[in-house]
Amino acid sequence: MRVLVVDPDPARAALVAEGLAGVEPLEVRHASIFNEVEAAVFGPDVIVVASDSPDRDTIESLREATAANPRPVVMFVDRSERGLAEQAVLAGVSAYVVDGLSAARVRSVLEVAMSRFQLMNGLRQDLEKAKADLASRKTVERAKALLMKERGLEEEAAYRVLRKLSMDTGRPIGAVAADLVAFAGVLKGNGS
Amino acid sequence: MSGERPLRLGFIALNDAAVLIAAKEKGFFAAEGLDVELSRQVSWATVRDKMSVGALDGAHMLAPTALAISLGAAGAEATPLAAPLALNINGPAITVASRLMAVIGEGQTADGLARLVARRREEGASPITLAVVFPFSVHNYLLRDWLARAGIDPDRDVRLTIAPPSRMTELLVGGVVEGFCVTEPWDTAAVAAGAGQVVVRGSQFWPRTPDKVFTVTEAWANARPDELQALARAMLRAGAWADDPANRAALAMMLAQPDYVGAEAQVIEASLADMIFHAGGASAPQPIHAAWLLSQMARWSHIDPTIDIEAVARRVYRPDLYAIAAAALGMPEAPPLEVLEGFGSERPFRLATAQAYADEARSRRVSAG
C-alpha cells in the first residue's frame, strides 16, 4: 500500500506508518507541502491530508481534474470543529480521522476509505453510463422516427436499418443514429 | 448585542482581508458592541465547509465561491449565501516568470504569451503551466478571459493548476508554474523576490475589478439582521479608514503581522497602491459583477449554463442590505451599475444581456465579445 501523508506535522505520518505496520508491501511518504509532480510519480493508493493544510485546495482540485484516475482522500480533522468532517465528506473526501486517533485504528480507517471510494467511484461510473445509455436510446428513437417518416417504414424495419448500418460500419447504434439525425438536420437546412 | 459566544469571521491571508482586520484592530467592531473573533483559514475549501456547517458566522470570500456555494456547484450541497458588502476592488494581478518576459515582450495583452504557446506546441514541448488560487475564484475567470482574448483556449492550450496564494513565489522560483493570477501582496512579493514580473493588473484590463465579498449564510442574515447591520457598519467605517492615504502605512504594518497576512510590511504597502476598499462605492455589492462572474462560470461550463444569471446575481449580492448600513452612517448611496466597460473585448457587458453574452461566450470559447 502506498500512502502519501500531507501534513506540516510529521508526527501524524509516523502514526499512520505505525498503524499500518505489517501491511506488505508498504510505503508511507510524508510531505509537509503537496507537490503535484512528486505525487504523480509516487502514485499513492490513498492521500491523507490535514484539514489545516493549505494544500487542501490543490488536492481537491486535482480530484476534479483527474476524474479519470482519482485517489481516495482521508482527512485529519480537529476535534473542535463539529460537523466539519461531515461537510468534507459531502465535498468528496472519502473518510475522515478525528484527532487523537490511535495507531490501532489507522489501518481500518484507510481500508474503509479505499473501499468506500471504490464503491462511490463505481456508482459514479454506473450513473454516467446510465445517462449515456439513456441519451443514446433517445437518439435511436429519433432516428427511427425519422426513417419511419421519410421512408414510410414500420418501426421494426426502421430499427433493422439502423442495426444493419451499425454492423456494416462497426460503430455503436447510438453513434449511427446520431449521425443520421445530424445529417437529416443539414439536409433540411438546420445545420448551417 | 452579540450572542453568548463571539462572532467568528473567517479570512485568508490576503490584502483584501484588510477591512475585517482593520475593523477588529481599530475598534470599529467593538464600537458597535460586537465581540468578533477573526479566524485565519488556510484553504478556501475549509472556508466553504465551515460556512456550510455554521462553524463560521461570516467570511471573507472569493466572489465566485460565494456564487458556487449558493448554487451547490462548489463540491458540496447548496447553501444560499448573502453578500451584503464587497470587500475590495483591484486586488488581483497576473504575474509571469521573469525568464519568460524576454520571450513574450511588453504589453498588457496575452498576445506575447500566445506566440510562446504556439512555439512550444510546434517544438512539441510541454504546455505552459499557470496557477490560480481556487477553481471558483475571480483569478481563474480573469486569467481565462485574458488568455481567451488573445486566442488561447485555457482548457486546451495551457495547463491551469491550483496553488495556495502564499506559495506562488516559491512555485515560480522552482519552475513548477510559469505564471499565476493572485491577489496582492503575493504578486509584489514575487517581484520583490526577483522571480516574476506583473504583466497586467486587474484594473488595467477590467476597470475596477471585483474581487472578494463578505458573506454570511442567507439563513444567518434573516435570523440575525441587527448583528448583520452592525457588522456592515463597522466594516464600512473600516473600509473608509483603510482607504485614507494617511492610514496606509499603519494598515500595512497591521496586515504584516504573522497572524494576519504575514508578509513584509514594505511589500504590503507597495502592493496596496492600486487597491480600493471603500471609495467610489467600492463596498457596494454590485449584482452586475456577480452576473459577469456567473457568465464566465457558464462560459467554461463550471455551472449549469441554463441558470437564470440575473436572478442568482440578485439573490446573492445584496445592495439592499448595504444601503441600510450606508444610510445609517450618512454615507452616500451607491447607484447600481448597469454596464461594465472593458469587460468584453468588443462591447461593454450589460446586466440586461448577461444571459445572451454567456451563451455566445460559451459557444465561441475564445475571443468572445
**B74: closest chain A residue by CA:** A91
Contact (Cβ atoms closer than 8 angstroms) between residue B67 and residue B294: yes
Choose among A36, A60, A86: nearest Cβ to B45: A60
Q: How far is A82 from chain B (nearest CA, A)?
A: 7
Contact flag B49-A84 (C-beta cutoff 8 Å): yes
CA–CA dist B271, B257 (Å, integer): 16
Q: What is the pTM of this model?
A: 0.81
Nearest by Cα to B358 from B303, B286, B287, B284: B303
CA–CA dist B27, B346 (Å, integer): 46
- The residue of B5, B37, B41, B46 whose CB has the most chain A CBs within 10 angstroms, and thus the best one to mutate to test that interface, is B46
What nine digits make up the cell of A102? 490511535
Contact (Cβ atoms closer than 8 angstroms) between residue B305 and residue B290: no
Choose among A53, A86, A87: nearest Cβ to B42: A53
Choose among B53, B167, B176: nearest Cβ to A83: B53
**A82: closest chain B residue by CA:** B55
Contact (Cβ atoms closer than 8 angstroms) between residue B139 and residue B92: yes
- Chain B residues whose beta carbon lies within 8 Å of the beta carbon of residue A82: 53, 55
Supply the angle between the helices A155-169 and A173-187 in degrees, to the nearest 10. 110
**What's the pLDDT at A100?**
59
Nearest by Cα to B113 from B57, B165, B154: B154
Contact (Cβ atoms closer than 8 angstroms) between residue B184 and residue B169: no
**What's the pLDDT at A191?**
44
- Chain B residues whose beta carbon lies within 8 Å of the beta carbon of residue A87: 49-50, 52-53, 76
**What's the pLDDT at A63?**
61
**What's the pLDDT at B237?**
97
**What's the pLDDT at B76?**
66
- Chain A residues whose beta carbon lies within 8 Å of the beta carbon of residue B37: none
Contact flag B48-A51 (C-beta cutoff 8 Å): no
- Which domains does chain A carry? 2-101 (3.40.50.2300), 129-187 (1.10.10.10)
- The residue of A7, A36, A87 whose CB has the most chain B CBs within 10 angstroms, and thus the best one to mutate to test that interface, is A87
- Chain A residues whose beta carbon lies within 8 Å of the beta carbon of residue B135: 61, 64
- Chain B residues whose beta carbon lies within 8 Å of the beta carbon of residue A53: 42-43
What nine digits make up the cell of B182? 493572485
Q: What are phi and psi of A79, to 5 degrees?
A: -55, -30
**What's the pLDDT at A192?**
43
**A66: closest chain B residue by CA:** B161
- The residue of A57, A76, A79, A80 whose CB has the most chain B CBs within 10 angstroms, and thus the best one to mutate to test that interface, is A57
Contact flag A91-B134 (C-beta cutoff 8 Å): no
B-proximal residues of A, 16-55, CB under 8 Å: 33, 35-37, 51-55
CA–CA dist B61, B45 (Å, integer): 11
Nearest by Cα to B317 from B67, B4, B7: B67
**A88: closest chain B residue by CA:** B49
Choose among A53, A57, A82: nearest Cβ to B44: A57
AA letter at B213 = V
Choices 3.40.50.1820, 3.40.190.10, 1.10.10.60, 3.90.550.10: CATH for B92-207 = 3.40.190.10
Choose among A35, A64, A84: nearest Cβ to B53: A84
Q: How many CB pairs under 8 A join A and B?
A: 73
**A83: closest chain B residue by CA:** B53
At residue B186's C-alpha, the angle toward residues B210 and B161, to 5°, is 80
CA–CA dist B336, B148 (Å, integer): 28
CA–CA dist B263, B243 (Å, integer): 20
Write out chain B's pLDDT in tens, 369 residues.
445 789 999 999 999 999 999 999 999 999 999 999 999 998 888 888 888 888 899 999 999 999 999 998 876 678 999 999 999 999 899 999 999 988 888 888 999 999 999 999 999 888 899 999 999 999 999 999 999 999 999 999 999 989 888 889 988 998 889 999 999 999 999 999 999 999 999 999 999 999 999 999 999 999 999 999 999 999 999 999 999 999 999 999 999 999 999 999 999 999 999 999 999 999 999 999 999 999 999 999 899 888 999 999 999 999 999 999 999 999 988 899 999 998 887 789 999 899 999 988 888 888 644
Topology agreement, domain B7-89+210-286+301-334 and domain B92-207: yes
**B134: closest chain A residue by CA:** A57
Contact (Cβ atoms closer than 8 angstroms) between residue B180 and residue B131: yes
Sheet strands (E) in chain B: 7-11, 36-40, 58-62, 81-86, 92-97, 129-132, 159-162, 179-183, 196-201, 212-217, 339-340, 349-350
Choose among A37, A57, A83: nearest Cβ to B45: A57
CB atoms under 10 Å from CB of B122, counted, come to 7
B135 three-class SS: coil
Q: Low-confidence residues of chain A, pLDDT below 50?
A: 66-68, 191-192
- Chain A residues whose beta carbon lies within 8 Å of the beta carbon of residue B74: 91
Contact (Cβ atoms closer than 8 angstroms) between residue A181 and residue A143: yes
What value of ipTM does the predicted structure carry? 0.72
Contacts of B337 (CB under 8 A, 6+ apart): B286, B288, B289, B351
Sequence spans of domains, chain B = 7-89+210-286+301-334, 92-207
What nine digits make up the cell of A67? 476524474
- Residues linked to residue B96 through DSSP beta bridges, in sequence order: B179, B197
B36 three-class SS: strand
Choose among B55, B74, B134: nearest Cβ to A83: B55
**What's the pLDDT at A189?**
66
CB atoms under 10 Å from CB of B130, counted, come to 23
Q: CA B41, B290, B143, B60: dihedral to nearest 10 degrees?
A: -10
Residue B250, burial from CB neighbour count under 10 angstroms (0-12, 13-18, 19+): middle
CA–CA dist B199, B189 (Å, integer): 14
- Chain B residues whose beta carbon lies within 8 Å of the beta carbon of residue A55: 43, 164
CA–CA dist B64, B12 (Å, integer): 15
Quote helix, strand, coil % in chain B, to nearest 5.
Answer: 50, 15, 35
Q: Which fold has domain B7-89+210-286+301-334?
A: D-Maltodextrin-Binding Protein; domain 2 (3.40.190)
- Residues linked to residue B8 through DSSP beta bridges, in sequence order: B37
Choose among A36, A54, A91: nearest Cβ to B75: A91
- Chain B residues whose beta carbon lies within 8 Å of the beta carbon of residue A90: 76-77
